[in-house]
Amino acid sequence: MRYSQYFIPTVKEIPADAEVISHILMLRAGMIRKVAAGIYNYLPLGLRSIRKVEQIIREEMNRAGALELLMPVTTPAELWQESGRWEKYGKELLRFRDRKEAEFCMGPTHEETVTDIVRREVRSYRQLPLNLYQVQTKFRDEIRPRFGLMRGREFIMKDAYSFDVDGAAADISYEKMFNAYRRIFQRCGLNYRAVEADTGSIGGSSSHEFMVLADSGEDAIVSCSGCDYAANMEKAEAKQVVVTDGAEPLPLERVATPEKRSIQEVSAFLDAATSSVVKSLVFLADDKPVLALLRGDHELNEIKLKNVLGCETLELAPDAAVEKVTGAPVGFAGPVGLSIRIVADQTVAGMKNFIVGGNDRDLHLKNANLGRDFSVELFADIRNVVPGDACPRCNGGVMEIWRGIEVGHVFKLGTKYSESLKATYLDAAGKEQVIFMGCYGIGVGRSVAACIEQNHDADGIIFPIPIAPFHCIISALNPKDEAVMAAAEQIYNELTAAGVETLLDDRDERPGSKFKDADLIGIPLRIVVGNKNLVNGNVELKQRRGGAVELLPIADAMAKVRQTVAEALAQ
Ligand code: ATP
Ligand code: MG
């Protein structure tokens, strides 16, 4: 490809609405352009990287025995009504009507559509296992689309769905996908970690997220310093260690805390550690109030609380509900004298003489004690893990916390969709059985963005060869010089013929601006053809990563480029 005939609208300025580096660089490198919030054009250069990721995904999915199909974005409401998600999915689901007033949605995921195919076509156990996947546009009306392709509203996803005769067979399908994902992200050149994730109401312990480690990541992930344990923050278990404070219970004391509402304000005002305060949070679980207690320096984990309560919906109670339940303004809730369900984090079980809200304006209580002053229905792990917590799996390991970007997700669905949509098969004995399913997603655009988060420097992107839009760029320093152009074209033709994807920068630009663009768009290898070296038959070969420069005879430079590319693609 000749640069002069290609379309790479690079820009110098940092776009105003771009916060993270991958978004900034993808805009600056002319890879993407915004159409509306969370909706982007993929320009030619950006599309090349996207297609590379898709190709790697296809190769690995096919290798694992999955079959590609393509389902429509447009999904009739009936299928979603059958699964029950039409009501549950909320505002992320973009719904619309056709001219006949029939209701549809833009698919945010395709469990319903794919299960509909399988329930119509699969009759016998002989047709299973089956794994169907697609690479396709999804729409989710995200509340806060941001970070470019990282959290879009319209985005490309690879979604796969496995169908098996029973749970054990479904485990095997899951394992295959898990391993395929490892290969995919490794081949994309990503530094990632597979972590345990919450399975929500679907049950089972089998969901993993593939997280790319990056400071800009929206997710917190937890891993053990001593063993393999890794989970996302929602799921990470806090080890059951109840340290009992041996202190004698002191008399309960009322203390005035005027306008002191937060844990920080109360502990500073009473000159006490935040860990000696018990935080009281009122929630509505399936619309009924529940009080959750946890140590003042800990954070509540809503997913854990929801799982412990076994409720369908859980939300922090709005101010009016808190006032109704506690008889006090927000900021003074406490367990003493309250007649609603009370659950507490297991850490609270060992605490003595702690501070709690007094359920009255400007009032807190000192020296509150479990059993004597109030009772708790249930102690459970309902807090977020903090760095230094003991590992729940090994002895001696401590928890470390990282930021990550979720690029992939594998999930054992069990019979959730096959039951509601009645996807069954006849077993060897002719008996009707429900199919076991799994679903497996990868964010394609998000993977490219995540890769840039991990691979860049002050000058721009540093693409790993497997997903670089081009492998090599030839910078012809003075394209008006016939000898230079002839040499550059010869190199270009030979590399292209050898399968090296090459961009020939034949633009009539200053060398400095050619180099700047080449660095910005992150092409891994650069051959510089200039008349000064060419008279000796040499060109410069520069590695984008690390910046190493070698002066080599033309044939050697080409051989090295071919070898470097071949080695990178063979991994
Ligand atoms: P998140 O928690 O980041 O919203 P999710 O749990 O909703 O992700 P899944 O439903 O598991 O995501 O979707 C599969 C994959 O699709 C994710 O792992 C991610 O890579 C990608 N993805 C999800 N939402 C978006 C989005 N808004 N923009 C780009 N990619 C996305
Ligand atoms: Mg989401």
DSSP string, 276-328: GBEEEEEEEETTEEEEEEEETTS-B-HHHHHHHHT-S-EEEPPHHHHHHHHSS
Question: Closest ligand 1 atom to the C-alpha of 153?
Answer: 27
Q: Does residue 342 sit in the same domain as residue 445?
A: no
Q: Which of 246, 268, 249 is nearest to 257 (CA)?
A: 268
Q: Does a structural domain hold residue 242?
A: no
Mutate to test the pocket of ligand 1, among 91, 142, 157, 411 (most ligand atoms within 8 A of CB): 157
Residue type, 310: G
3-state secondary structure (DSSP) of residue 180 = helix
Q: Residue 329 maps to which CATH number?
A: 3.90.960.10
CB 252 within 8 A of CB 365: yes
Q: Does a structural domain hold residue 70?
A: yes
Contacts of 87 (CB under 8 A, 6+ apart): 81
Question: Closest ligand 1 atom to the C-alpha of 405?
Answer: 3
DSSP label at residue 15? P
Mutate to test the pocket of ligand 1, among 446, 451, 453 (most ligand atoms within 8 A of CB): 446
| Biggest CA-to-CA distance, the chain | 95
For the Cβ of 155 lying below 6 angstroms from any atom of ligand 1, the answer is yes
User: What tens digit of pLDDT does each residue of 61-109 get?
Assistant: 999 999 999 999 999 999 999 999 999 899 999 999 999 999 999 999 9
Distance, CA 161 to ligand 1 centroid (Å)?
16
Q: Does a structural domain hold residue 4?
A: no
For the Cβ of 140 lying below 6 angstroms from any atom of ligand 1, the answer is yes
Would you say the C-alpha torsion 46, 48, 54, 60 has a positive or negative sign? negative
Contacts of 232 (CB under 8 A, 6+ apart): 195, 196, 197, 198, 209, 211, 219, 220, 221, 222, 404, 406
Distance, CA 233 to ligand 1 centroid (Å)?
16
Q: Does residue 129 sit in the same domain as residue 268?
A: no
For ligand 1, atom 19, name the residue with the nearest CA. Answer: 443
Instruction: Give the ligand at the shortest distance from the Cα of 138.
Output: 1
Q: Which of 155, 123, 116 is nearest to 136 (CA)?
A: 155
For the Cβ of 142 lying below 6 angstroms from any atom of ligand 1, the answer is yes
Mutate to test the pocket of ligand 1, among 202, 206, 409, 448 (most ligand atoms within 8 A of CB): 409
- By CB atoms closer than 10 A (0-12, 13-18, 19+), residue 463 is buried
Q: Does residue 138 sit in the same domain as residue 184?
A: yes
Q: Does residue 112 sit in the same domain as residue 55?
A: yes
Instruction: Give the ligand at the shortest distance from the Cα of 92.
Output: 2
Question: Closest ligand 1 atom to the C-alpha of 406?
Answer: 18
For the Cβ of 441 lying below 6 angstroms from any atom of ligand 1, the answer is yes
- Each residue's pLDDT, cut to its tens digit, for the chain (571 residues) gives 999 999 999 999 988 889 999 999 999 999 999 999 999 999 999 999 999 999 999 999 999 999 999 999 999 999 999 999 999 899 999 999 999 999 999 999 999 999 999 999 999 999 999 999 999 999 999 999 999 999 999 999 999 999 999 999 999 999 999 999 999 999 999 999 999 998 876 655 589 999 999 999 999 999 999 999 999 999 999 987 777 888 899 999 999 999 999 999 999 999 999 999 999 999 999 999 999 999 999 999 999 999 999 998 999 999 999 999 999 999 999 999 999 999 999 999 999 999 999 999 999 999 999 999 999 999 999 999 999 999 999 999 999 999 999 999 999 999 999 999 999 999 999 999 999 999 999 999 999 999 999 999 999 999 999 999 999 999 999 999 999 999 999 999 999 999 999 999 999 999 999 999 999 999 999 999 999 999 999 999 999 999 999 999 999 999 999 999 999 999 7
Host domain of residue 96: 15-188+416-452
Q: Does a structural domain hold residue 245?
A: no
For the Cβ of 176 lying below 6 angstroms from any atom of ligand 1, the answer is no
Q: Which helix (H) or strand (E) holds 372?
A: none
For ligand 1, atom 4, name the residue with the nearest CA. Answer: 151
Q: Rounded distance, CA 210 to CA 407, Å?
A: 6
Note the Cα 54 to chain centre separation in Å. Answer: 17
For the Cβ of 157 lying below 6 angstroms from any atom of ligand 1, the answer is yes
E strand segments, 32-146: 32-36, 39-42, 67-68, 74-76, 95-97, 103-106, 130-139
DSSP label at residue 151? B
Distance, CA 386 to ligand 1 centroid (Å)?
25
For the Cβ of 141 lying below 6 angstroms from any atom of ligand 1, the answer is no
For ligand 1, atom 1, name the residue with the nearest CA. Answer: 406
For ligand 1, atom 28, name the residue with the nearest CA. Answer: 151
Question: Closest ligand 1 atom to the C-alpha of 108?
Answer: 10
Q: Does a structural domain hold residue 361?
A: yes
Q: Residue 532 maps to which CATH number?
A: 3.40.50.800
Q: Rounded distance, CA 153 to CA 155, Å?
A: 6
Q: How many domains does the chain have?
A: 3
Distance, CA 143 to ligand 2 centroid (Å)?
10
Instruction: Give the ligand at the shortest distance from the Cα of 108.
Output: 1
Q: Does residue 299 sit in the same domain as residue 436?
A: no
Q: Does a structural domain hold residue 272?
A: yes
Distance, CA 319 to ligand 2 centroid (Å)?
27
Distance, CA 38 to ligand 1 centroid (Å)?
13
Q: Does residue 112 sit in the same domain as residue 159?
A: yes
Q: Does residue 426 sit in the same domain as residue 477?
A: no
For ligand 1, atom 22, name the residue with the nearest CA. Answer: 443
pTM of the model: 0.92
Structure tokens at 258: 């005027």
DSSP label at residue 155? E
For ligand 1, atom 24, name the residue with the nearest CA. Answer: 151
Q: Does residue 474 sit in the same domain as residue 351?
A: no
- By CB atoms closer than 10 A (0-12, 13-18, 19+), residue 156 is buried
Q: Which of 218, 333, 341 is nearest to 280 (CA)?
A: 333
Q: Does residue 59 sit in the same domain as residue 124?
A: yes
Q: Does a structural domain hold residue 289?
A: yes
For the Cβ of 476 lying below 6 angstroms from any atom of ligand 1, the answer is no
Provide the β-strand partners of residue 161.
Answer: 132, 439
Q: Does residue 355 sit in the same domain as residue 438?
A: no
- Edge-to-edge strand order for the sheet containing 314-316? 314-316, 278-285, 288-295, 341-345, 378-380
Q: Rounded distance, CA 170 to CA 111, Å?
A: 16
For the Cβ of 406 lying below 6 angstroms from any atom of ligand 1, the answer is yes
Q: Does residue 446 sit in the same domain as residue 487?
A: no
For ligand 1, atom 18, name the residue with the nearest CA. Answer: 408
